[in-house]
Structure 1
Amino acid sequence: MREVALTKVTTPCGVIVGCNDEDSQVGVFRGIPYAKPPVGELRWREPQPVEPWEGEYQALKFGPMAMQFRQQEGSFYHREWNANRMPMSEDCLYLNVWTPAKDPEEKLPVAVWIHGGGFRTGSGSAPAFDGYAYAKRGIVFVSFNYRLNGFGFLAHPELTAESEHHSSGNYGMLDQVCALRWVKENIAAFGGDPQHITIFGQSSGAMSVQTLVCSDLTRGNIQRAIMQSAGGLGISVARMTRTLETAEQRGEEYLNYMGLSSIEEARKMSAQWLCDQFAKSDAVYNVQMYFAPNVDGYALKEDCNSIVRAGKHHDIPYIVGSTKNENWKTGKKSFDYHSFRSNMQELFGDATDRFLEVVGADSPERIQEYWINEFADHMYAGAAAWCTMQDRLGRTPSYHYLFSHPLPGDDSGAFHGCEHGYVFQTLLRNWRPFTARDYELSNRICDYWSNFMKTGNPNGEGLAEWTSYTEESPCAMEFGGRNEMFPYSGSPVSQFEKAFFQGDFKARKGAE
């Protein structure tokens, strides 16, 4: 009789009952609480440890996704991932586990997925993010939900004053820290090794990975990390991270917009009402990532770019990369020279004139071209600069990639987030007319990711060699086209951004 994977485990929290997949080789546990529900007086507070339960917890269905405004029916990303049917609640701090272990003593490597969505939307339980493919490769896979938008990242002077750490606004990030701590303390019951954890994420999920490896709160809890289409060392992270003071000001703006006079009053409002107000204010303020992590002196002691340049982030192996056609439209665009210069002055300081020369900003057409390619340039520059710093600091290896394979079915190319179905081998859940080539590419990517999760090195039998990135050999693995290593230098604009953020010249505003 064939052995079956675990479906009943005993954790420090209590007994948890899951179910088997179709062939009984993977045990699936859905909707496990990893913290107390962040409702009532726990709204806008640090996550509180879940209390142990008596009896058996039935982990048979996914927990609700965090409060958010739902994607418009028929919109591009709704059509891609169709996650709108999932229930939604402020009581959202749940995680899911896929395990191939047949015995708790197996000590298998663990992978923890952090979903993206601009810190505004998304869910770890979306149909694209199934852990089955990794479990079949001998990995215990975990996904989870965390607080988003104003619920997860509202800072305010009143919230700072009531915090024992004198911080506020990083509740979603602290949820992630709490989920990782839960995994560390409980995953052994599922056959996982708590000393062998990889975190990975895409877009704001990748930014989350970066904040976690830059935080002292996660020291020793992460052994490897993968950042897909965000994170790195560059503009995306610079624009994401703000000071606590700035975040508090935005929080005050938010409450004023809603007509609320205090946090006490805001805590009395329904979650749905607050969510509706957030959706309205998002259109009014039109600020990229209005709510996002801030440098609060507790969860984040400095901005991530500074932490990485100083070598204060976790010294672990990394995979970092992006897609060829990121094509993400962000914020209001300026096409005349003076407004464009003013916009860039905040980022590049004394190096602004040099940047404008690279862009060719005396031409409105060249400025327009910059905005069209902006996100792809940012993603390449951030990933390559990160890998460069790893090499300069003599750290563990970093592996760089470019996903260039155009998805079939339309002319959107290798767009932002297109790799999900390939990374998780969930192409069958998508509407696109995939071919054998797509499934073969998916299998190869999942093999590389799995090898990295097991050893810190993506290479393995039957795969093209993926060498680590160095300044001497700045190469990337291409997924699509060549499907092999190639010298990847990016556009002139991304080359400038890479050099600037890795500190190749003193050009930061206020530099000595």
Structure 2
Amino acid sequence: MLLWVTAACAQVGLVRLDTGMLGGVAENDVLVYKGVPFARPPVGELRWRAPVPAEPWPGVRQADRFAPVCMQSGTYPPDAAAEPTSEDCLYLNLWRPADPAADKLPVMVWIYGGGLENGSSSTPLYAGDRLARQGVIVVTLNYRLGVFGFLAHPELSDESPYHSSGNYGLLDQIAALRWVQRNIAAFGGDPSRVTVFGQSSGAISISALTTSPLARGLFQRAIAESGALFEPMSLSDDFMLHGAEQAGQRFAKRAGSGSIETLRRLPADQLLQIGFDPHLIVDGHVLPEPPYDAYHSGRQQDMPLLVGFNRDEGSSFIAGRTITRENFRHELGRSFPDLLVKLAAPDPGDTDEAARNAAAMFHRDMRFRWDMWTWAWLVSNAGRARVFLYEFARVPPYRPGDRYFGWGAGHSMEMPYVFGHLDLQPLAWSAEDRQLSDMMVAYWTNFAKTGNPNGPSLPEWPAFESKTQRTMQLGERITQTAFGDTTTLRRLDRIYGAARFLQEHYRGLIVGVVLLLLAALFALARRMRRRRASRKA
């Protein structure tokens, strides 16, 4: 009898992949496949190389447990439970409706955030069961993080047939999307209706994937929550290949290694202890140019987009700080260059409370809101695809003493609503919270199905247009509204536009004003390092 039960369990959701037979696990009315390899383990000589497709296996592989997460020293979200880590981490998970008649289902591929340093495809928050019940397939993937995912080095570039290095984590995401194209039909999925969705650095990755020639045709829609990369990257050497290679050489020196060969022999835990600031790199291969340049020139992939930000995302960056009218600009200067504060920061207002609110809003606008607004504006202005913009404004019912109490609708706080997993946090969720979650699940899955979030019994969500700038507010009220104040955003736009113009037309000239502007914008490296700081939010 025991042998019969074991054999029967192995046959649940049996599918044939290009690497062999795979069995799933039934969880109520959803089939789940956990720990499915999409690439060979990136260890030994495969450390800091492009991912290699997974090897075939004999018999039936039972996908009933999650794989280790990629090497990291923390967790994301910050209150997530720690999971076992390993360099052998290139696996994905999949949820689909258990109905065997379901076929040609749209596919949603989740790319986690965490500052490119932390994150996991198996965090309970990201379980795709609630979304799958709406008639979609959900895939969550792991990708290499930190130094394992984003180290550039001259020796690595010399090894590469494309003379580039870094962006290995981005290549992992692309490899998983290629796996989806090859195999999703076996699960009843439609490879022509793939939506990538992600949050924070996952959304930043998506803004890059929409401009990468290596990802072209691998997905047809994109959802980005609180993250994009539209700053003028070329003004910071670390984000260009040559500067990133120099940073890699400095890392190797700190590791006491003179070559990539010896670095590859060092234990992963030892490498993890050495400071490294991961970020995407304009490498000429995976990312040929900054995303802004690609969109401005029309070289991006045209597809429907759903993008947005959270109303109070700056709150976490001023938590624990005393901000007054008197120290307002000094406090902002701790996070941003003084010249940028002078050129773009708002007036602090008449009271200390107003100054604190203004500081939080400046952090939000600098770190998130400008990117999402710019992305929506570029797509709308091109007129080749529709874009839907949201502002998440719901404040979860945190209690005094809770980690996030007083942060408002802060960074990452939309995710329990998106995945339909409010009850993972033991809070006093109201009927309004649950209704909002149901609506967001419907909006997100409708978008995956049709490229339009609208559907029966939902408040109408208008497409964003650069002239009217209508936005969907998801909060106490679920309604379309004007985008809101753009004063700081337009100031940033002028600063960044001037920087691009000067770089393009006066490259190499040593002019005082140019140097001042570049000095201010050089701190974009610090500003974009908020990808790491944002994991604390």
Displacement of 1:165: 1.1
- What is the distance in 2 between the residues matched to 1:112 and 1:239? 31
Checking the alignment, whether the CA contact within 8 Å between 1:241 and 1:295 is kept in structure 2 is no
Alignment of 1:144-183 (within 5 A): 144-183=141-180
- What is the distance in 2 between the residues matched to 1:339 and 1:135? 45
Q: What's the CA shift string for 1:303-358, capped at 9, x where partnerless?
A: 1111111121110000110101112439x99955997899366xx7xxx97536x5
1:306 aligns with 2:310: no
- What is the distance in 2 between the residues matched to 1:104 and 1:207? 36
- What is the distance in 2 between the residues matched to 1:471 and 1:273? 49
Q: 1:471 aligns with which of 466, 476, 480?
A: 466
Displacement of 1:155: 0.5
Checking the alignment, whether the CA contact within 8 Å between 1:8 and 1:15 is kept in structure 2 is yes
1:48 is matched with: 52
Displacement of 1:510: 2.9
- What is the distance in 1 between the residues matched to 2:388 and 2:143? 28
Checking the alignment, whether the CA contact within 8 Å between 1:104 and 1:192 is kept in structure 2 is no
1:63 aligns with 2:56: no
- What is the distance in 2 between the residues matched to 1:341 and 1:90? 33
State the TM-score, normalized to the length of structure 2.
Answer: 0.83
User: Once structures 1 and 2 are overlaid, which stretch shifts more, 435-444 or 492-501?
Assistant: 492-501
Q: What's the CA shift string for 1:43-76, capped at 9, x where partnerless?
A: 01110011121111110001110000024xxxx9
Secondary structure in 1 aligned to 2:307? strand
Q: 1:460 aligns with which of 455, 458, 464?
A: 455
Q: 2:337 aligns with which of 340, 343, 362?
A: 343
- What is the distance in 2 between the residues matched to 1:254 and 1:197? 37
Given residue 29 of structure 1, which amino acid in structure 2 is its aligned partner?
A: Y
- What is the distance in 1 between the residues matched to 2:118 and 2:261? 25
2:419 is matched with: 424
Given residue 224 of structure 1, which amino acid in structure 2 is its aligned partner?
A: R
1:140 aligns with 2:129: no
Aligned length: 479
Q: What's the CA shift string for 1:397-420, capped at 9, x where partnerless?
A: 100000011111122211100111
1:445 aligns with 2:440: yes
Displacement of 1:508: 4.3
- What is the distance in 1 between the residues matched to 2:66 and 2:58? 21
- What is the distance in 2 between the residues matched to 1:109 and 1:342? 42
- What is the distance in 1 between the residues matched to 2:236 and 2:329? 20
1:510 aligns with 2:503: yes
Alignment of 1:285-324 (within 5 A): 290-324=277-311
Secondary structure in 2 aligned to 1:382? helix
Secondary structure in 2 aligned to 1:180? helix
Q: What's the CA shift string for 1:103-161, capped at 9, x where partnerless?
A: 48711100000000000001011110010111100101100110000000011111111
1:35 aligns with 2:23: no
1:385 aligns with 2:374: yes
Checking the alignment, whether the CA contact within 8 Å between 2:132 and 2:138 is kept in structure 1 is yes
Unaligned runs of 5+ in 1: 283-289
1:376 is matched with: 364
Displacement of 1:204: 0.1
Q: 2:480 aligns with which of 479, 485, 498?
A: 485
- What is the distance in 2 between the residues matched to 1:154 and 1:325? 33
- What is the distance in 2 between the residues matched to 1:94 and 1:342? 38
- What is the distance in 2 between the residues matched to 1:455 and 1:42? 39
> Residues 134 and 365 from structure 1, CA distance in 2 versus in 1: closer, same or farther, beyond 3 angstroms?
closer
1:12 is matched with: 18
Secondary structure in 2 aligned to 1:432? coil
Q: What's the CA shift string for 1:20-47, capped at 9, x where partnerless?
A: 112xx21100000000000011001110
1:285 is matched with: none
Alignment of 1:250-289 (within 5 A): 250-277=247-274, 281=275
State the TM-score, normalized to the length of structure 1.
Answer: 0.86
- What is the distance in 1 between the residues matched to 2:412 and 2:160? 36
Calculate percent identity across the aligned residue pairs. 37
Checking the alignment, whether the CA contact within 8 Å between 1:240 and 1:292 is kept in structure 2 is no
1:230 is matched with: 227
Displacement of 1:372: 3.4
> Residues 227 and 337 from structure 1, CA distance in 2 versus in 1: closer, same or farther, beyond 3 angstroms?
closer
Given residue 435 of structure 1, which amino acid in structure 2 is its aligned partner?
A: S
Displacement of 1:365: 11
1:286 is matched with: none
> Residues 311 and 500 from structure 1, CA distance in 2 versus in 1: closer, same or farther, beyond 3 angstroms?
farther
Checking the alignment, whether the CA contact within 8 Å between 1:101 and 1:190 is kept in structure 2 is no
Displacement of 1:473: 1.3
Displacement of 1:18: 0.8
- What is the distance in 1 between the residues matched to 2:73 and 2:489? 33
Q: What's the CA shift string for 1:207-230, capped at 9, x where partnerless?
A: 011111110011111110001001
Checking the alignment, whether the CA contact within 8 Å between 1:105 and 1:188 is kept in structure 2 is no
- What is the distance in 1 between the residues matched to 2:95 and 2:213? 28
Displacement of 1:272: 1.2
Checking the alignment, whether the CA contact within 8 Å between 2:33 and 2:63 is kept in structure 1 is yes
1:210 aligns with 2:193: no
Secondary structure in 2 aligned to 1:464? coil
> Residues 297 and 377 from structure 1, CA distance in 2 versus in 1: closer, same or farther, beyond 3 angstroms?
same
> Residues 499 and 128 from structure 1, CA distance in 2 versus in 1: closer, same or farther, beyond 3 angstroms?
farther
- What is the distance in 2 between the residues matched to 1:166 and 1:343? 34
2:515 is matched with: none
> Residues 341 and 131 from structure 1, CA distance in 2 versus in 1: closer, same or farther, beyond 3 angstroms?
closer
Checking the alignment, whether the CA contact within 8 Å between 1:382 and 1:498 is kept in structure 2 is no
Checking the alignment, whether the CA contact within 8 Å between 2:238 and 2:244 is kept in structure 1 is no
> Residues 96 and 9 from structure 1, CA distance in 2 versus in 1: closer, same or farther, beyond 3 angstroms?
same
RMSD in angstroms over aligned alpha carbons? 3.1
